[in-house]
Amino acid sequence: MFRALLLTGLFTGLAGWSASASAETISEFTLDNGLEVVVIEDNRAPVVVHMLWYRVGAADETPGTSGIAHYLEHLLFKGTETLEPGEFSQIVEANGGSDNAFTAWDYTGYFQRVAADRLGLMMEMEADRMINLQLTEEVVAPELLVVLEERKQRVDANPDALFGEQARAAQFMNHPYGRPIIGWPQEVRELTLDDALEFYETYYAPNNAILIVAGDTTPEEVRALAEEHYGPIPPSETLPERVRVTEPPQLAERRIVFEDPRVAQPYLRRTYLAPERDAGAQEEAAALTMLAALLGDDPATSYLGQKLQFDSQTAIYTGAGYSGVALDDTTFGIVVVPAVGVSLAEAEAALDETLAAFLEEGVDSEQFERLKRQIYASEIFARDSTRGLAQRYGAALTSGLTVADVQAWPDLLQAVSEEDVIAAATDVLDKRHAVTGWVRPPSDTAAALSAETPTEEVTQ
């Protein structure tokens, strides 16, 4: 069976199993200026991943300037008082390393992967651009065009991504999770150098950042280098408290019919508002994680897959996804791709019946044990990727969790009971808190497309 054969990216941002490395390889400490540091030791290869995470993302933007967190992330590569535009990456590459950055709703991160003996140089440069960014109109203007092209490539050229944006905006009526990370196009076009600098000066400070170093190093080495390079940077005295508007009670089901001629395969996706992992209180999130796996992990063994793909041929693909790593309430998602000849309405009716039957029947004990064995194994497989571990800690710590929460997570998953799963499912699978989207081609082009052979697309 081809996993993720279809519609890969529908659950972008919803990670799979979480698992932590064994506790003894993780250390944490905080510098006097408030910079938190996490060290993950893995001495199998002479390589380190150096990551600096800021506790700021798209959900922290001022309304009207959507996309500024991401635009600023691009601009961090455009020079400092001592580095020319682009020179940061050139120096990383000249040292055999690779570097990049990413922006999400709750965080912005910068990372380099280099030989272990280049760690000090990476810290020196990353600390430099935390305070010494120097931007000119000449370099920031073409970069705004780059961001607009990125938006076209990621979103406008991709009907699944366009639908995802619309569905999110419908899901979060008040909370900033409803705005796209890359920004709404009409607002991105108007972003200015001043917007970027204001955001930079407000949020980029050691007491709003987390340093993660993973790989062939020691806590002692990291501490010495971090004191040297990040230590002298004063903390911000004006860092705003991280408080966001909350969702009003969601009382009514929302539905979207998204039509685009580029949709080749109609599908439905429903997302329910769901609680996130909270520091010291991750139990419901753990139950929801198990629920997602039981409902829609592997089609041959999951409940939706068995009912809709095996016992009946209603769907050609089913899936469920949930990731609890978020600062505020998140979503629990389900996707059904109907088989040929099955309408979206029929597929949705079958989904609703199947979910009701699941709540009625309860959890299949044998499958539940199987999942727990897989979680145990996935913890070990996860330790094979230092980059993945660093990512896990960075995302968690910028989303309100602690190192202890991350380390407790695998055991919390093992401790989830069948009753916990049903309780969480009953609580969350409530259509009044959900957005159900139908994605399909416009009805007139559907007929035209099906009459067309693929080779007719090809150049004259």
Partner 1 sequence: MSRLFALAAVAAIAVTGPARAAVDIVEVESPGGVTAWLVEEHELPFVALEILFRGGTSLDDPDARGAVNLMTGLLEEGAGELDARGFAEARDDLAVSFRFDAGDDTISVSAEFLTDVTDEATALLRTALAEPRFDEDAVERVRAQVLSRLRSDAEDPGEIATETFAAKLYGAHPYATNGRGTIESVTALSRDDLVAAHAGTIARDRVYVGAVGDITPEQLGVLLDTLFADLPETGAPLPERVDISLDGGVHVTPYATPQSSILFAQGGIDREHPDFFPAFVMNQVLGAGGFGSRLMTEVREKRGLTYGIYAYLAQKDHADLLIGRVATANATVGETIDIVRAEWQRMADEGVTEAELTQAKTYLTGAYPLRFDGNGRIANILAGMQIDGMPIDYINTRNAKVDAVTLEDVNRVAGELLNPEALTFVVVGQPEEPAPAN
Positions marked catalytic: 73
CA–CA gap between residue 152 and residue 146 (Å, rounded): 10
Pairing mode, strands 47-54 and 209-215:
antiparallel
- Using the minimum distance from each CB to partner 1, give the nearer residue, 171 or 306: 306
How far the first Cα of the chain sits from its last, in Å, is 36
DSSP 281: B
Q: Give the residues across from 28 on adjacent strands.
A: 38
The token pair that represents 322 in the structure block: 């949930």
In angstroms, what is the minimal distance from the CB of 82 to partner 1? 19
Contact by Cβ (8 Å): 108, 59: no
Site string for partner 1, 48-87 (x = CB under 8 A): -----------------------------x-------xx-
The token pair that represents 65 in the structure block: 């300037």
Phi, psi torsion values for 8, nearest 5 degrees = -60, 140
Footprint (CB under 8 A) of partner 1, residues 305-334: 306, 309-310, 313, 316-317
| Chosen residue from 6, 101, 412, 446 binding partner 1 by CB under 8 A | 6
Size of the site for partner 1 (CB under 8 A): 79
| Chosen residue from 39, 58, 104, 144 binding partner 1 by CB under 8 A | 144
Rg (CA), the chain: 23
- Using the minimum distance from each CB to partner 1, give the nearer residue, 80 or 208: 80
In angstroms, what is the minimal distance from the CB of 182 to partner 1? 10
In angstroms, what is the minimal distance from the CB of 183 to partner 1? 14
- Using the minimum distance from each CB to partner 1, give the nearer residue, 145 or 279: 145
Footprint (CB under 8 A) of partner 1, residues 236-295: 261-265
Footprint (CB under 8 A) of partner 1, residues 336-365: 337, 339-340
Contact by Cβ (8 Å): 180, 58: yes
DSSP assignment of 216-234: S--HHHHHHHHHHHTTTSP
The token pair that represents 115 in the structure block: 């030989």
| Chosen residue from 33, 192, 301, 414 binding partner 1 by CB under 8 A | 301
23 is an interface residue for partner 1 by CB under 8 A: no
Q: How far is CA 349 from the centre of its chain?
A: 30
Whose CA is closest to 397, among 96, 52, 25, 33? 52
CA angle centred on 321, ends 255 and 99, rounded to 5°: 115
Site string for partner 1, 190-229 (x = CB under 8 A): -------------------------x--------------
- Using the minimum distance from each CB to partner 1, give the nearer residue, 309 or 436: 309
| Chosen residue from 132, 136, 153, 417 binding partner 1 by CB under 8 A | 153
- Using the minimum distance from each CB to partner 1, give the nearer residue, 44 or 432: 44
CA angle centred on 316, ends 315 and 318, rounded to 5°: 70
- Using the minimum distance from each CB to partner 1, give the nearer residue, 154 or 244: 154
Footprint (CB under 8 A) of partner 1, residues 94-133: 94-98, 113-118
Phi, psi torsion values for 125, nearest 5 degrees = -75, -40
- Using the minimum distance from each CB to partner 1, give the nearer residue, 228 or 452: 452
432 is an interface residue for partner 1 by CB under 8 A: no
